[in-house]
Amino acid sequence: MTRFGFERHLPNLGLITHFSERGSSLVHQVSPWTKIALLPVLIFDVTVVSDITLLFAILMLVVFLFWIAKLPLLLLVYWCTLPVFFVVSIGFLLVWTVPGYVLVSYGSLQLTLQGIVFLAALMIRALTGVIYSLIILMTTKYNYLTRVVSKTLPYPLNQIALLSYRFIFLAFDGLDATLTAMESRGGLHLSSFSKRGRFYGSVFALAFIRSFDHAERVAKAMQSRGYDGRLTASYNVPRPSYWGYACIILTSCASIYYYLRGVF
């Protein structure tokens, strides 16, 4: 695992691959088609649902599914800090524009109870999507993912998606190598928060630039081996079971029904 205080908040792609390839939970045994088909249903639900209690219930259901899959809950807490940070940084400016019961007032700015609920709803929606996406990545073999992407997305979007997935690995590997080199030279022992912010900003920029160089070398290596713009996947993905089909149909129909009834 990671050794530095900041790195634990970054998803460990090697660990994600380990769980996806070596896991044996009930969620791992579910067909990839079923898990991926439920993703748009879940996104639809968390988008249209406005009741904060129902949104929280959906989030707890996804966390319970994460636990059933025998995935590390403690690491999930660390990994969720990044989406929480992005939601708070964006939603903090919006909460002051939501009318309602005023809690704090400063001139023309007013923080309302409805504004806090709005920010909490945004955070729950983001966490639900992120956690379920991690469940898919950590319980589905990479060969199956490539096959599903090749079948569902048109060309060249499928190639962009597959290569982007690989590019993410290169970017995080470069970041990990840079931080390891900095730690071995005593460069992570900074005194103030502002110095840490500037330092990590420079590290991210350097790792991002190096990942582009690495990606270019990978592209040339692929072309030298006959890559002509198409990554073919010949693996057979397990079909959904009868329970899988029933789950997809029932959840989709229930979401559409309650949405049309205005229950959400």
pLDDT: which is higher, 157 or 37 = 37
pLDDT higher than 70, residue 122: yes
What per-residue confidence (pLDDT) applies to 194?
A: 61
264 in a domain, yes or no?
yes
pLDDT tens readout for residues 176-211: 777 777 777 766 665 555 666 677 677 777 777 777
96 in a domain, yes or no?
yes
What per-residue confidence (pLDDT) applies to 189?
A: 61
pLDDT tens readout for residues 15-26: 888 999 998 899
**Arithmetic mean of pLDDT, 40-55:** 92
Return phi, psi of residue 141, to 5°. Answer: -65, 150
Q: How many domains does the chain have?
A: 2
What six digits make up the tokens of 166? 């690989």
Residues 178 and 215 in one domain: yes
For CA atoms 36, 133, 91, 72, give the dihedral sign: positive
What per-residue confidence (pLDDT) applies to 246?
A: 94
Cα separation, 255 vs 44, whole angstroms = 8
Residues 225 and 243 in one domain: no
Residues 135 and 193 in one domain: no
Residues 133 and 51 in one domain: yes
* Structural domain boundaries enclosing 51: 1-142+239-264
pLDDT higher than 90, residue 86: no
176 in a domain, yes or no?
yes
pLDDT over 90 for what percent of the chain?
34
Residues 79 and 208 in one domain: no
What per-residue confidence (pLDDT) applies to 263?
A: 64
pTM of the predicted model, to two decimals? 0.79
**Arithmetic mean of pLDDT, 147-158:** 81
Residues ≥6 apart with Cβ < 8 Å to 153: 161
